[in-house]
Structure 1
Amino acid sequence: MAKSVIFLALAASCSAPVCAREFLVRNPGEYAAAVGRAEAGDIVRLADGEWKDFPIVFEGRGRKEEPITLAAQTAGKVILTGASSLKIAGEWLVVSGLVFRDGSAPGNEVISFRRDSRHVATNSRLTEVVIDRFNQSDRRREDRWVSLYGHDNRVDHSWFAGKGNAGVTLAVIRPKGQPHANRHRIDHNYFGPRPPLGSNGGETIRIGTSEESLSDSFTVVESNVFDRCDGEVEIVSVKSGGNVVRENLILQSQGSIVLRHGNGNLVERNVFLGKGKPHTGGVRIINTRQTVRDNYMEGLAGTDFTSAIAVMNGVPGSAINRYHPVTGALIANNSVLDGARITLGAGADAERSAAPQDTRFTSNLVTGSGSSLFAIEADVKGITFTDNAASVQVPAELASGFSTAPIALKRAANGLLYPSDPALAKRGAPGDLAPVTLAQVGPDWYGKPDPEAAFGSGRTIKAGSGGLETAVAAARSGDVIALAAGRYTVRAPLHIAVPLTVSGPKTATIAFSGPTLFALEEGGRLRLQGLTITGEAAPRRAGNAVVRSAPTSTIANYAIEIEGTDFAGMEAAPGFDIIATTAATFADHISLHDVTVNGLSGTVLAAAAETGDKGLYAAEQITITGSRFTRVGTLAHVLRGGTDESTFGPEVEISDNTVQGSGPELLALSGVQTTLLTRNAFRSAGRITVTHSVGAPQTRIIDNRFINTANPQISRLYPQGTPQVQVSGNSVGGDAS
């Protein structure tokens, strides 16, 4: 062992044959020497401070009552940065108190419960460990933050938030040909905000994969908090059998607990609080002998696959990686309160034609409003409905299994709503639920993340003529730069790395002479309000843009909001765009309202930079409303390729606009999941095309005027999926004026 290792023998009262020892190490060499000597009961402590580019291998064999421990000298004060990682191999090992931050894994895993395929961890524990925004530099590069191999391991009281690149946050890995039970326990962890990924691979937890999904893992996921976990449609993706997901708190998280593959799983006593956030879901049920009981779901706004309860249709004779039919499911004593949707036979199409069978839906309590609370997309004769209560009328196929009447609710001491009527006491979630709290999860020495700074939440900086560049350079998160009337000449791109608002009266005119006015960087979000922007001095060559997302991959999602702003002088150079998105960047939302564009050679919103077939796209939500466009090349080009069904977007709303003249193609929307085109007037405009891909895309084209403009063309790329299309109230004709 290196001479500089500090060795502390705890020999004051030692009953074991060899006393437990502590090794305090200050560099990788000392660490390797100490681990090489560590025996059952020993503790290896990393000295407080930053450990950069440190790939840790922690291997040893402890005993049940005397594990070998790797710990921080002081919990939370050992920071693993740069290209750091941790591999755990052996048995009866404990790791605690470490923080991974300001770096990324050198391989495909930050923490792995194995050294290699022949040396895995068993009966080992990861506790009070933090992984905080430890992301690859390219959001498309996939890695996992925690990979659980072996069996009987535990991850508890840890903190995982800010994963922005592709890959599961925590995965139970069940290699092909190894169908053995895992019996892992994942409990009392804080799974914090994970922004929408914009592609498949954004799950927070995944248990197994399809290859070994017909065998049982017996993993338990309990008493965790999932806070704003919005990566994709599957928050917890169960792809094996015999697992238990119970007593978790799911807070404003887009997506669902999905019983994707595997049989005989149990989802019970979880609390879902959606607070009306779009796409907040509950439980999606697939396969055989699944039990979903005693769950509390309030304010879930998801529909279709992310309904509060979604019972899917299956594929007859399904391949192992598709959708096995639902058989023998029990859905009992769940409360769905103020919910948007319960969907039965979800996803039914020509392929998914096998309706649920031998399934019971009993003693559930359902409240909501309107006639769309239940969606029946397939034959429900295989589902028996008994002793349920609903506050609204239910479809005739379900009526015999529901009592329907207004339901008065009262909030109990546990913070949850229950019926005031004693006769309904046995319907819905049990009264003894005790939702896990934020204080009970994660290490108590690492705070939960604050909400992201909102536009307008910071200082107001007044900028006169010539002061715009200086103000942008000095801006902090949430600041507002208020321009005075006058002309602002910008010769170089303004780089935006924080949430920033630039506002002014219309008499504040920004003229830019470079190819880009605003260049978004990592962390940048931009709001433009009440300005006039001219591109008359921009280069006379193709590729100019007013706002451009980063030229290389960014992890943080950006946003662009433009309101009450006029654009002109942008048709002399070819391909001049207002907003140009770039590959490997992603926007939570892009919105234009009360915008005027007079003369544009390119595209108002160019959102088709992701050209591959992996389901990547540029922005989650796109809205263009109440605006006026004259002589524009294209209004919007939005593309989402591939056949993946794991994302919500893109969602596009184009409403209450007028367009006078355009290039040959006015709108090209391909792979968009939700399209609303309403109350627009298109005069002498180009083609409008909507191309559906897989899933259940929804397209509504209603109450528009097409004047010397062709009807929209709607087509499908793939036979899978069930597009929902409404085209009504539109008028088509020539221009008599």
Structure 2
Amino acid sequence: MKLKFSYLFLLFTQINIALFSQTQKTIVETIDQFNNAIKNAIPGNTIILKNGIWKDVQLNVNGIGTKEAPITITAEKEGEVIITGNSKLTISGKYMVVSGLWFKDGVPIDKEVISFKKDSKTFAYNCRLTNCTISNYNPTDKSIETHWVDMWGKNNRVDHNNFTGKTNEGTTLVVWLKGEEHIENNHLIDHNFFGERPELGVNGGETIRIGTSENSMKSSKSTVEYNIFKHCNGEIEIISNKSCDNIYRNNLFLESEGTLTLRHGNRALVENNVFVGNNNPRVGGIRIIGEDHTVQNNLLIGISGDDYRAPIVVMNGVQNSPLNRYFQVKNATIQNNTLINCNAVQFGAGKDNEKTLAPINSVFANNLITNTNSGKIYNANDVISGITFTSNFVDADVEIDGNYFTKVIVDWEMLGSLPMPSENNNLLKSAIKIATSPVVDITNSARTYFVAGAFNLGNKLIPEAINAIAGPTWKPLIEEPTLVKKAQTLVVDPGVETLSKALKKANSGDVLLLNPGIYLVDKSMKINGNISIIGKNEGNGVEIKANENLEKPISYFFRVTQGASFTMKNIMLNGDAKEVVKYAVVSPDENESEIYNLSIDNCQLVNFTNKNGGSVFKAYIGTMADTINIKNTLISDAYRGLNLSYEKDPLGKYNAKNLIVHNTVFKNIDEFAINYYKSGSTVDGGNLRVTNCVFSKVYNQEKGYAIKNKNIDNVSIVNSVFEGSYQVKNFVNLSGTSNSISNCLIYDNGSIKTSNNAIMENIAFKNPKWEDKKLFIPSDKSPLLKENNGIANIGLQLKQ
């Protein structure tokens, strides 16, 4: 009896100890207290971080919990434990949970902010990061690469978090497959909100990457579902699939300027996702590369991207492709997707001398496409005989090929703001079911009878991707941190990519001071913020040109992004290369309408002779500069000069409020020197001022012109020279009292056309008598000097 009592007492004691351990909560206020608590934690323990600022801390969450009793690290109150400074979190062991923390406005030094490993041998298994936020957690140098979350090990989950405001190089969330411990990892990434990530300007700005090129043929079996991606614009790949057997489903992509890209690896499933572009021309959908992928039951609305950013992109492949290039698309199934008011689907995208393998053994079946804009349905960039087209329906006022698509008129009804095919669409029921056709629609409802598109007819359910509740249960108020940074002068030495690297490190207000020499460029550069690039010597000596060994030629040297101000001084930009650079400087991309500014002073812009639409400067459609100011500059040996002529809207759009050109030479230009165009006269605007300039051998054809200024309200051409374009009939056409040309010299050149009381006065038709024809310096006897012509001093002060 005594033994039995002792046994029962012992059993009762063990049960109480177990119950106590499962409910034990420890509040910690310092990192030392935390380290002690985590060291002694047992299954079921909860460690609570005290509310407040935790700065420059290393939180190593390592332990062994169980499925029934995990070890939990959480905030005293969700969102009120602020992790900042150079802080880092590691999660390792088994069944560890981290919840409720806010990594806010930090300045990390390590490669990752949160990592599912302690070291190279200690990883996480069945662990979870949930209900947390990382916002604006970036190094001061945006060229430093960091990741916000690195997933290692197996069976881990990242869910209900908010990731917003990553601005530096490096993917936001990475799944790693380096090592056998991480293959077939079955990670789950779900119900997260991925917020704004501005364009990085270089590769490495993905929001999610699963795998790497090197490990892309390994199976990951990760699932990405019920997440929201809003304004994730870091680069063209919002999600970069670089491994096998992954699932992407029920995600919502809102105006994110890129695509869900199946970049490497095979057998991905992409289903039930919703893409909303709102006609932003940089927003894309799904890009397909590799083998055995299935893309089905997706809804794409207003996806206006083109080329690699099209709504659906089926790429061409590379013969015997290495792991880091483009594998041929094989055995792809693209079915039951609905595209509403989207741009054209691209087949064989990227075809060139390298990407020669068109898609094969693939199916494009039972898709429903509707357009109200009469836009093209698809582009075949290569042969499409390797794709079987079955029961694809088009509701649009556009010509189609009956071998690939069937024209229908769909009866649509609105479900909230979503168009849905109604029950009255019997033609859609003629869709032919194939072996792999989905048995449910995008809302996960059974297909009672089979139809084309993502939805059952008469559907009354919102897609799960739209209804998903993503992000933490608490709502972080994320504000961009106000950083007061003193402008710096960064001295740059010549060499390969030295300028690009310096530009990545530059912050708004900085000056890049270039030592004399040749700067070789491998890729185009983007100007963000207020940036000045200045050659150290006024006499130039700084030359920027494309590297001759480039596999892919660069299109332009500099792009001024929207909202930016770019000053370039004492620089030579040389477009001469194996394949001539198309532009020296370009505006923001199409329809990026935020005001920018450009100033070019004492520069030489030479050898931009690309005849495939090239020019020294190009303003893209839908962009607007406040002021473009070019002075003391030589623009020579080019196909075109300044091109601001792409606006076609009849409502009077144009690309710059003010275009000012002073003391500048345009020499040997095949076509126009200036084309400044407003698409109609219904809106006032546009100011062109040309002073003390030389136009020598510009557009020397009968219908050529030096300056085209159609519908520009205010035009003033003063103290300038037009010579050597003897075949031109009228080198400028001025109309209206606010257009004028005065104190100018014309020699061996066309004439001036005026109308509607435009002003033309003090025009001299004489030989300019240059002392230096190369630098256009007038001699003492030149009629450009006032004492020799009785008009005015038209002499130039060009610095060369």
When normalised by structure 2's length, the TM-score is 0.62
Superposed CA offset, 1:478-533 (max 9, x none): xxxxxxxxxxxxxxx9989xxxxxxxxxxxxxxxxxxxxxxxx99979xxxxxxxx
Superposed CA offset, 1:52-72 (max 9, x none): 100111100111111111111
Residue 429 of structure 1: aligned partner: 454
SS at match of 2:34: helix
Distance verdict in 2 for CA 1:291–1:447, change over 3 Å:
same
Residue 289 of structure 1: aligned partner: 292
Residue 445 of structure 1: aligned partner: 474
Residue 327 of structure 1: aligned partner: 330
Distance verdict in 2 for CA 1:24–1:393, change over 3 Å:
same
Cα distance in 1 for partners of 2:667, 2:268 equals: 52
Deviation of the 1:403 alpha carbon: 1.4
Task: Note the 1:281-360 alignment, pairs <5 A.
Answer: 281-360=284-363
Residue 418 of structure 1: aligned partner: 420
Are 1:375 and 2:379 counterparts? yes
Task: Note the 1:485-500 alignment, pairs <5 A.
Answer: none
Task: Note the 1:211-222 alignment, pairs <5 A.
Answer: 211-222=214-225
2:395 corresponds, among 385, 391, 394, to: 391
Cα distance in 1 for partners of 2:539, 2:572 equals: 13
> What is the number of equivalent residue pairs in this alignment?
563
Residue 170 of structure 2: aligned partner: 167
The RMSD of aligned alpha carbons is: 4.8
Aligned residue type for 2:452: R
Residue 511 of structure 1: aligned partner: none
Residue 120 of structure 1: aligned partner: 123
Cα distance in 2 for partners of 1:27, 1:372 equals: 62
* Identity fraction in percent: 34
SS at match of 1:212: coil
Cα distance in 1 for partners of 2:179, 2:637 equals: 45
Task: Note the 1:523-672 alignment, pairs <5 A.
Answer: 558=529, 588-590=561-563, 620-621=588-589, 633-634=602-603, 652=620, 663-665=633-635
- Equivalent pair of 1:154/1:184 in contact (CA under 8 Å): yes
Distance verdict in 2 for CA 1:353–1:627, change over 3 Å:
closer
Larger Rg over CA atoms: 2
Distance verdict in 2 for CA 1:308–1:429, change over 3 Å:
same
Cα distance in 2 for partners of 1:18, 1:316 equals: 61
Deviation of the 1:73 alpha carbon: 1.4
Residue 736 of structure 1: aligned partner: 750
- Equivalent pair of 1:703/1:730 in contact (CA under 8 Å): no
Deviation of the 1:321 alpha carbon: 1.0
Are 1:27 and 2:57 counterparts? no
Residue 71 of structure 1: aligned partner: 74
Aligned residue type for 1:375: N
Distance verdict in 2 for CA 1:178–1:586, change over 3 Å:
farther
Structure with the larger strand share? 1
Distance verdict in 2 for CA 1:327–1:126, change over 3 Å:
same
Residue 485 of structure 1: aligned partner: none
Does 1 or 2 have the higher relative contact order (CA < 8 Å, sep 6+)?
1
Cα distance in 2 for partners of 1:221, 1:232 equals: 19
- Equivalent pair of 1:121/1:153 in contact (CA under 8 Å): yes
Residue 582 of structure 1: aligned partner: none
Cα distance in 1 for partners of 2:601, 2:200 equals: 31
When normalised by structure 1's length, the TM-score is 0.67
Aligned residue type for 1:427: A
Aligned residue type for 2:750: A
Cα distance in 1 for partners of 2:669, 2:31 equals: 61
Residue 248 of structure 2: aligned partner: 245
- Equivalent pair of 1:96/1:127 in contact (CA under 8 Å): yes
Residue 666 of structure 2: aligned partner: 685
- Equivalent pair of 1:249/1:270 in contact (CA under 8 Å): yes
Residue 502 of structure 1: aligned partner: none
2:189 corresponds, among 186, 204, 207, to: 186
Aligned residue type for 2:666: A
Residue 615 of structure 2: aligned partner: none
- Equivalent pair of 1:35/1:44 in contact (CA under 8 Å): yes
Task: Note the 1:264-275 alignment, pairs <5 A.
Answer: 264-275=267-278
Deviation of the 1:443 alpha carbon: 1.1
Superposed CA offset, 1:430-462 (max 9, x none): 244524458811112124658x99xxxxxxxxx
Superposed CA offset, 1:137-164 (max 9, x none): 1111001000000010000000100000
Aligned residue type for 1:444: T
2:696 corresponds, among 700, 703, 708, to: 708
- Equivalent pair of 2:563/2:595 in contact (CA under 8 Å): no
Moved more, 251-260 or 100-109: 100-109
Unaligned 5+ segments in structure 2 are 1-13, 430-450, 488-504, 515-525, 532-536, 541-557, 575-584, 609-617, 648-654, 679-693, 707-724, 727-748, 752-800
Distance verdict in 2 for CA 1:311–1:730, change over 3 Å:
farther
SS at match of 1:315: coil
